[in-house]
Structure 1
Amino acid sequence: MSKQTINIAITGLNNTDNPGPGVPVIRGIRESQDLDVKIIGMAYENLEPGIYMPGITDITYLIPYPSAGTKVFLNRIMEIHERERIDLIIPNFDAELYTFIKSEKLLAQKGIRTFLPSLNQLEERSKSNLPAFGEKYGIRIPKSREIVSLIDIPSLREDFDYPLLVKGKFYDAYLAYNSEQVITHFNKISAKWGLPVIIQEFIKGTEVNVVALGDGTGRTVAAVSMRKQYITDKGKAWGGITIDDSQMMEITRDIIAKTRWKGGMELEMIKTSSGEYFLIEINPRIPAWVYLAVGAGQNIPEYMVKMAMGENVPTSQEYQVGKMFIRYSWDMLGDIGQFEKISMDGELQHSDEF
């Protein structure tokens, strides 16, 4: 295909110890040999590292959290659109997907494309609905239960053995070895993400993940599997290695075929010592470790952009097994003028000199 200039707005620039997918998604897009892009960063906080990292965004704007209300949120998007002529938006947080999916038609009327699952697809795979999802599609799911109050905790012993997992409806998962720890995690998670909080059976085994891309017709355009080598206290992969696991890939393609998933997704699974697979979570967007897939030979962010812009993208099945990633911290130096500009003006252009 011939090169095209595309203005792409991307969220998820919080490249911290709990990293968002925005920076690795941008890195993948910039490595495309076919696409000529302008990257418009959209940040929720003025200290998100992706704002200041050289070579990531061309310009970055502050936007309000979706919790500020759909009208306020979309008004800011349209203000940016008037200035930048956004061709495509790639949201990278679970918590913002509902707003973007509900606003998909309005965005399209303004000339802004997206490549997202439907609202039904989003809700069907939610943590609270995962047991029903597993039953519908024939996938093993750990025993799960929603709780909405501290008074629900004592009765957990009737259905669960300790340790068990305490999860937020969007993010965060903590292992609890007793009811006191469940109370601590419940309070922390509910204050941050709201209710319900999900209790999930702890399955002992190896955590394996798949990043995949569906075209909305049931076809798996790309998929790469990896095993976590190092996990932080927030449950995030800080190191991982691509693996060849045909059964896990078969599960992934089967889910995408049956659900007709559109967009990126991450499947989190536990492989037991007996070779059984339990699906513990489906994240409805590209994960933060997607740059490993790019390095292994499948540029999933690039494929998504091309499909969103109406291009035909062939199925990609081969990737390099044994490719490894390791995250690390890096003291990036900037200037107070950059911080002042994004804080006061709500925008920062990387051509600005400080």
Structure 2
Amino acid sequence: MTTPPGAVITSGDFQGLAILRSLHGHGIPTVVIDHEHCISRYSRDVQRFAKAPSPFRTEAYADFLIDLAKRERLEGWVLLPVHDAVVHVMSKYKTRLETCYRVPTPHWQIIQQVYVKANTYQLAQKHGIPAPATWYPQNEAELVALDLSFPVVLKPSIRDHFYTQVKTKAFRVDNPDDLLRTYRKMCQVIDPTEVLVQEFIPGGPERLFSFTPFFKHGQSVAWLMARRRRQHPMDFGHASTYVERVDVPELKHLAERFLKAVDYYGVAEVEFMQDPCSGVYKLIEVNPRFWGWHSLAIGAGVDFPYMLYQDMIGEPVTPVAIPQGDLKWVRLLTDMPTVGREMLAGRMSWRSYCQSMQGRKVWAVWSRRDPLPFLAEVVMIPYLWLKRGF
């Protein structure tokens, strides 16, 4: 019997762990790589692990992947994208990497439309896809000249240029003095041309939705929709902590229109915020990779890692029915402190929390069959806080 090509999982964090468990269940050989200490090293499913350089050292990371393929005989294996920085490398060096691997990430010409948020919002506007009102001041003088209704949000156009240094995705500002002070603070980290000003949509994660497809030839082969009810922190979260499956047909229509406009291929998370005033779902961002809670889809029968793997090696991918029924995803390590803070602030009751935890659940890390990654994650709390802000 011929051994099938394997897959290189480009992170050993909880997102990569879900991919590892999925592919192991299908008998697919895997190698996990990470530039930091990770919980997947403790999984019973891990076969090989390799320490990588930081993907922010783009050329060194590409060189490492090429060397890894030659050293470990991984020619023809599938590279699976997990983090934004890895997507950047895979898209910029796609042609070179494809001499060794099967690379699902599109070329940079496509990825830059979602990697750079200014491009994303301008493309959405061009194609009539609702998005928050956004301004692009090139300097402080242009910022001051804007006619704004507060509050507004300041955010970086390129997340990795900012978040990796300050562990914050965006700032709410409530008046002109706060606007100028926050803008100057951000300009100490990134170029002023990368600072975006955007309308503030109230409602928090209660109104944060995602459409997640495996997208090919202008349409979704399979998909799942979800509401991301809790995140940490709750205002501009680093990552979701509690997610539930929903069915909002409008999300599919809007997301597919955008992905088709950029000729996208692969898995993606398309995020929307519902404006409580108009009810309109507005495009927030597109993540061209496996997202944090993608194991919710696996639990619902939509195995995105295996689908992408199958398609990349030329096997037919069978469309699956839209999953129905109540299903939640929970990352205990971050959800419990998030819930604690909400209760102390009076925004959540013990009863409402217990109600949210009823029904079928997919745990981000915990597995009775494979418990060590969860135990390792608990021990690693100080490390994870220092390195990633969780």
- Say if 1:168 and 1:190, in contact at 8 Å, map to a contact too: no
2:301 and 2:102 map into 1 onto residues whose CA distance is 26
The 3 A distance-change label for structure 1 pair 74 and 164 is: closer
Q: Which amino acid aligns with 1:101?
A: S
1:14: which partner in 2?
13
Per the alignment, residue 105 of structure 2 pairs with: 116
Between the aligned residues of both structures, percent identity stands at: 19
Partners of 1:176 and 1:182 within 8 A in 2:
no
Aligned residue number for residue 198 of structure 1: 196
- Alignment partner of 1:268 is 2:271: yes
* Residue 93 (str. 1) matches residue 97 (str. 2): no
How far apart in 2 are the matches of 1:97 and 1:290? 17
- 1:36-65 CA distances to partner (integer Å, 9 max, x unpaired)? 2222111112x2333x33134322111112
Aligned 8 A contact 1:220 1:256 in 2:
no
Return the letter of the residue paired with 1:251.
L
Whole-Å Cα distance in 2 between the matches of residues 37 and 98 of structure 1?
26
Counterpart amino acid of 1:202?
F
Counterparts of 1:40-51 in structure 2 under 5 Å?
Answer: 40-45=31-36, 47-50=37-40
How far does residue 81 in structure 1 lie from its aligned partner after superposition?
Answer: 1.1
TM-score (structure 2 length as normaliser): 0.73
Partner of 1:74: 62
Moved more, 262-271 or 117-126: 117-126
Which amino acid is the alignment partner of residue 209 of structure 1?
Answer: S
Separation in structure 2 between the aligned mates of residue 124 and residue 165 of structure 1, nearest angstrom? 20
Report if aligned partners of 2:227, 2:245 keep a CA contact under 8 Å in 1: yes
Partner Cα separation in structure 1 for residue 153 and residue 327 of structure 2: 32
- What does residue 214 of structure 1 align with? 215
1:28 maps onto 2:22 in alignment: yes
Q: Deviations over 1:282-326 (max 9, x none)?
A: 111121110001111111111000011111213334113321011
Contact 1:28 1:300 in 2 (8 A): no
CA 1:182–1:26: 2 relative to 1, 3 Å: farther
Distance 1:333 1:176, change over 3 A: closer
Could you tell me which runs of 5 or more consecutive residues in structure 1 were left unpaired when the two chains were aligned. 16-20, 336-354
| 1:293/1:300 contact within 8 Å kept | yes
Gaps of 5+ in 2: 161-167, 334-373, 380-390
Residues 69-112 of structure 1, C-alpha deviation per residue, up to 9 Å, x if partnerless?
Answer: 41x222221221123222111121212223212322222223x1
* TM-score with structure 1 setting the length: 0.80
Corresponding position of 1:134: 124
Pick closer, same or farther for the CA change 1:69–1:119 going to 2, 3 Å. closer
Q: Secondary structure at the match of 1:66?
A: coil
State the Cα distance separating 1:208 from its structure 2 match. 0.6
Over 3 Å counting, the alpha-carbon distance change for 1:88 and 1:186 in structure 2 is farther
Aligned to 2:29: 38
Q: Taking structure 1 as reference, are residues 154 and 123 closer, same or farther at Cα in structure 2, changes over 3 Å only?
A: closer
SS in 2 for 1:99: helix
Alpha carbons of structure 1 residues 14 and 191: separation in structure 2 relative to 1, 3 Å: farther
> Would the aligned equivalents of 2:230 and 2:240 in 1 still touch at CA under 8 Å?
yes
Pairwise CA RMSD? 2.9
Q: 5 Å matches for 1:302-313?
A: 302-313=306-317
Query: 1 or 2, which has the higher helix percentage?
Result: 2
Give the superposition deviation at 1:145: 2.9
User: How many Å apart are 1:255 and its aligned residue?
Assistant: 2.8
Match of 1:177 in 2: 173
| TM-superposed deviation, 1:180 | 3.5
Distance verdict in 2 for CA 1:141–1:310, change over 3 Å = same
Matched, 1:144 2:134: yes
| Equivalent residue number for residue 330 of structure 2 | 326
**1:156–1:306 distance in 2 versus 1, CA, 3 Å:** farther
Name the stretch that deviates more: 292-301 or 97-106: 97-106
